[in-house]
Structure 1
Amino acid sequence: MNLSVTSNANEIEITYEMSPAANSNTPRYALVFLFEGSNVSPANYTAFTEVRQANSSPTTITITASELSDFGFTSGEQIYVRVYGDSFYSNDYEENGASVFPNVNLTSAQAVSVVVP
């Protein structure tokens, strides 16, 4: 998986490419995890998105500054982003107060840092 993250005044843009590549006939699904440290993972995160569908490769999604604030991040803070493949219906569940993601494919690009707008 390839991953890049950029920040502008109002949002961050996350561009990723999964293998095999997504297209309109074979979409791919992913979860984005965000954390204050480079050890972000499905077991170590502050926030995560809903499952995102990719119909092309590469795929770019945006997370607004407002959404990042709702996740608990502050403007100027450095955070790390990592994208993991998942299934169409994530079967995540709560256990001991934390979400567990049994469908996540743990093969992922390295975490990428970005400054919260």
Structure 2
Amino acid sequence: MKNKTLVLGASDNPGRYSNMAMLQLQRKGHDVVPVGKKAGTVNGMDIQTTMPQTEDIDTVTLYLNPDHQKAYYDQILMLRPRRIIFNPGTENEELEEMAAQNGIKVMEACTLVMLNTGQY
């Protein structure tokens, strides 16, 4: 498997971008850790309702608006990912600054576009 990606805001709704990203990440060989408000399953991936207690997350890709991100600030930072991707609509100056202060690379980008253009 390639680098492990945590999808925060994961959904089992096929019309949601987080769902599309999870499938595309999986197709590209990435290990996906989906975390969402409600449990579900997407192509064999179980959506967790709590953040994992692991230190091997390379990337956190966000699909939550900034107001909903606040509850996860400490948990995201404790994962010590290499980078956080703020997908369109999730941009959050407060969390971006906190991440940068902790040595975490911050990107305002679209995970789906990155995957489809080989930039992931």
Same fold (TM over 0.5): no
Higher relative contact order (CA 8 A, sep 6+): 1
Give the TM-score normalised by structure 2: 0.23
Name whichever structure is richer in helix by fraction.
2
Q: Looking at CA atoms only, which structure, 1 or 2, has the larger radius of gyration?
A: 1
Name whichever structure is richer in strand by fraction.
1
